[in-house]
Chains A and B, each alone.
Chain A
């Protein structure tokens, strides 16, 4: 459950050689690659770059929303991150966002703070991995 995606998917053959291999879900990455089979368009790299920016921006927004106790703002961020994270294979982040979104919608506050913390930590790990993965490939 807490096993990082990094080690879990490290050996997935389909994703081998991809910059973010090991950080993200292999199946999701494979589906991404299917959209650009020859890699000519550099799609995967572009998507990951977009995702990285989007993640950073949304995390900042989330922090602001939490500071202002803006539940609607928080919901929107986790909703967005839920689906975009799933798209790129950041399953842990996606799942966490899904849980939080449901709790916010239903007005449940138990262990919500912990989950926000967990999301922040997970997102930070993911960002680090993504950054690392993208550095050798300008």
Chain B
């Protein structure tokens, strides 16, 4: 005997569950025993009503039903079962007598799956039941896979169709999913003519020609068709079909429709993203390279010239830094718009048409693209000579003359343009790019806002210098510049009273000293963005130190005189300190005496305005310049810095002591602070101290320190009062001008 049946198991792998209905207890018992013996789980019930009741508790895989029973007989029971939800397809085996033909017919009519003449040869019954079970499971699988297919097709916006040859346009049948593709409901009929009407008139004629051609040869059919649905939606439908044959004759087609609109849109978008700059919409580097290579191929084949113009905005970094990146982006968009107007720009290249030799379609390659940052390229696929290129370059420079409104203010942007021409200045893309770059830098060096045609002489002027210059140009963007800070010490109070910022260039792991790049920066004009960066960076650092250890002194930044000439200097400094929320006096500007004297007239206005907003001015290298001291009385100067050359000789030559004491006296009488730099030993400190200069700067105290090291230096040297110079100065009985902190 088998174990009692359990109805909770998974039906596909366990014993099949069978509901056995027979009013005769002997048959019921025997059949149940026989079936259990052969691996079935059997629920026995003795009548139709109890069979229906049993279905509330159990879901059998199949049902064996005695046909003739008192009360509700097998036929009625079967009919009632079929009406129950979930039992439409459960296999039902009707058990009948041997000679009961009428029952057989009635059994099928009542919805029985099959009939079986009662027999005590159990193997026959088992065989039949197993067969029914297999068939039922196959059917369930089929149903499931049909359902999955329909669902998958629906998700893929795909549906199948059949088409049969016939009168006029033949007969078309669409699955519900296919109807959905065309915006129809299941059950809607769709005629071929109606589908064709959805295709635009322009495309329809070609499509019909193709359909006729394909059908005539029973060829495979695959194409994308743009359709307009009844609700005016535009969709792209992919059609794919192959012929069906009967007795060797094509009788029609079977295939699928798929709505590929989204994919098309996505593909277009991907193609656009891959080839066009997201910000400006101009062709990007990749697209430019592709176009240039095509243009060069064409030029090579037809023996004409082509030109590459490299366009770099002058001082774009300033805009980005002072007005913010959003404003910078806005500006680039406007620049892009203007540049586009300077050439016969084509967004779309007629790729197929390019191959047709002799046509002018290479003209469609002409474009302005963005390489990245503020660098643009104009590709001129055919030029006669340099005049052509220069004409475009001038157009570009002209286009920049009008101010650009960004972030609510007028910006003036200029550009430098470098021109390289194929084949003279390079036979391939790489050479042309490099040489247009060389030309562009020469334009920048020559004072910006101009263009330059490449010439080998340009390249000859020291490759290294060009390279250095080119790298220095990018140093700010790449965050390669750093400021180090040398403390200014009040030796009597033994405390730090400020720092001087000194620029360093971290170039590929090497710290380049200022002497190696500041002259070059001065020469090329890069000193302007470098200095502006330094002011911002100092303001940023002042804020960090303020939060770290309550730093409330000033950071001295060296500025060249040409920066003082700029009308926007005050505004720049204001922006910088405001950006980091530090007071104006956190920045102290140092200008060398030489620089100041060179351009006194232009500088003085700036100095007054700076003074008004609270930025103090210190005269660097004081005592070495052309000494018309009159300016000291009229300019708003706060501090004199005694040149290191005098300090070096202190205690060695009496002249230096004389000069230093004269400077100190001068400063005192004019009410200026005085500070000595380059103090390297206690002897120098001692002399300065005695002469009345209490604030000093030099290796004796500290060299220029990376920003993070300054706090450490303060904690380990100044606060514990450990340095040798602290004792030396404090022991002096000199009058204390400043109180000890």
Q: Which residues of A contact B (CB under 8 A)?
A: 28, 31-32, 35-36, 40-41, 43, 46-47, 50-51, 54, 76, 79-80, 82-84, 86-88, 101-102
B77-116, CB < 8 A from A = 97, 99
Docked-complex contact B34 and A83, CB < 8 angstroms: no
Q: Is residue B190 contacting chain A, with contact meaning CB distance below 8 A?
A: no
Option from B1, B25, B70 in Cβ contact (under 8 Å) with A50:
B25
Docked-complex contact A87 and B33, CB < 8 angstroms: no
* Chain A residues whose C-beta falls within 8 Å of the C-beta of B30 in the assembled complex: 32, 35, 47, 87
How far apart sit A86 and B122, CA to CA, in the bound complex (Å)? 13
B257-315, CB < 8 A from A = none
Q: Is residue B445 contacting chain A, with contact meaning CB distance below 8 A?
A: no
Shortest CB-to-CB span from A80 to chain B, Å, is 5
Shortest CB-to-CB span from B34 to chain A, Å, is 6
Q: Is residue B120 contacting chain A, with contact meaning CB distance below 8 A?
A: yes
Nearest residue (CB) in A for B30 is: A87
Docked-complex contact B97 and A83, CB < 8 angstroms: yes
Docked-complex contact B120 and A86, CB < 8 angstroms: yes
Docked-complex contact A84 and B24, CB < 8 angstroms: yes
Docked-complex contact A83 and B24, CB < 8 angstroms: yes
How far apart sit A54 and B46, CA to CA, in the bound complex (Å)? 13
* Chain B residues whose C-beta falls within 8 Å of the C-beta of A41 in the assembled complex: 1
Q: Which residues of B contact A (CB under 8 A)?
A: 1, 23-27, 29-30, 33-34, 37, 68, 70, 97, 99, 118, 120-122
Option from A28, A43, A84 in Cβ contact (under 8 Å) with B27:
A84
Docked-complex contact A102 and B99, CB < 8 angstroms: yes
Shortest CB-to-CB span from A15 to chain B, Å, is 15
Q: Which of B1, B24, B118: most chain A CB closer than 10 A?
A: B24
* Chain A residues whose C-beta falls within 8 Å of the C-beta of B118 in the assembled complex: 83
Report the 7 A-B pairs with minimum CB-CB distance, sorted nearest first.
A84-B26, A80-B24, A41-B1, A51-B26, A84-B24, A35-B33, A83-B118
Shortest CB-to-CB span from B68 to chain A, Å, is 6
How far apart sit A101 and B68, CA to CA, in the bound complex (Å)? 12
Nearest residue (CB) in B for A102 is: B99
Docked-complex contact B97 and A82, CB < 8 angstroms: yes
Option from B1, B27, B68 in Cβ contact (under 8 Å) with A87:
B27
A-B interface pairs (CB < 8 A), number: 50
Docked-complex contact A43 and B33, CB < 8 angstroms: yes
How far apart sit A102 and B29, CA to CA, in the bound complex (Å)? 26
* Chain B residues whose C-beta falls within 8 Å of the C-beta of A84 in the assembled complex: 24-27
Shortest CB-to-CB span from A99 to chain B, Å, is 11
> Do A87 and B26 form a contact, CB below 8 Å, given A36-B1, A76-B70?
yes
> Do A83 and B27 form a contact, CB below 8 Å, given A35-B33, A43-B33?
yes
Give 11 new A-B contacts, CB below 8 A, not counting A36-B33, A84-B26, A101-B97. A32-B30, A40-B1, A47-B30, A50-B29, A76-B70, A79-B68, A80-B23, A82-B97, A83-B27, A87-B27, A87-B30
Docked-complex contact B24 and A54, CB < 8 angstroms: yes
Nearest residue (CB) in A for B26 is: A84
* Chain A residues whose C-beta falls within 8 Å of the C-beta of B97 in the assembled complex: 79, 82-83, 101
How far apart sit A1 and B29, CA to CA, in the bound complex (Å)? 30
How far apart sit A50 and B120, CA to CA, in the bound complex (Å)? 17
How far apart sit A80 and B95, CA to CA, in the bound complex (Å)? 12
Shortest CB-to-CB span from A50 to chain B, Å, is 5
How far apart sit A35 and B25, CA to CA, in the bound complex (Å)? 17
Identify 13 residue pairs between A and B in the complex whose beta-carbon atoms are under 8 Å apart, listed by A's number.
A31-B121, A35-B33, A35-B122, A36-B33, A46-B29, A50-B29, A51-B26, A54-B24, A54-B26, A76-B68, A83-B24, A83-B118, A84-B26
* Chain B residues whose C-beta falls within 8 Å of the C-beta of A47 in the assembled complex: 26, 29-30
Shortest CB-to-CB span from A13 to chain B, Å, is 20
Nearest residue (CB) in B for A57 is: B25
Docked-complex contact B37 and A35, CB < 8 angstroms: yes
Shortest CB-to-CB span from A16 to chain B, Å, is 20
* Chain B residues whose C-beta falls within 8 Å of the C-beta of A51 in the assembled complex: 26
Shortest CB-to-CB span from B578 to chain A, Å, is 99
* Chain A residues whose C-beta falls within 8 Å of the C-beta of B23 in the assembled complex: 80
Nearest residue (CB) in B for A28 is: B120
How far apart sit A133 and B266, CA to CA, in the bound complex (Å)? 88
Nearest residue (CB) in B for A37 is: B37
How far apart sit A51 and B27, CA to CA, in the bound complex (Å)? 9
How far apart sit A77 and B37, CA to CA, in the bound complex (Å)? 29
Docked-complex contact A35 and B120, CB < 8 angstroms: no
* Chain B residues whose C-beta falls within 8 Å of the C-beta of A76 in the assembled complex: 68, 70
How far apart sit A72 and B447, CA to CA, in the bound complex (Å)? 121
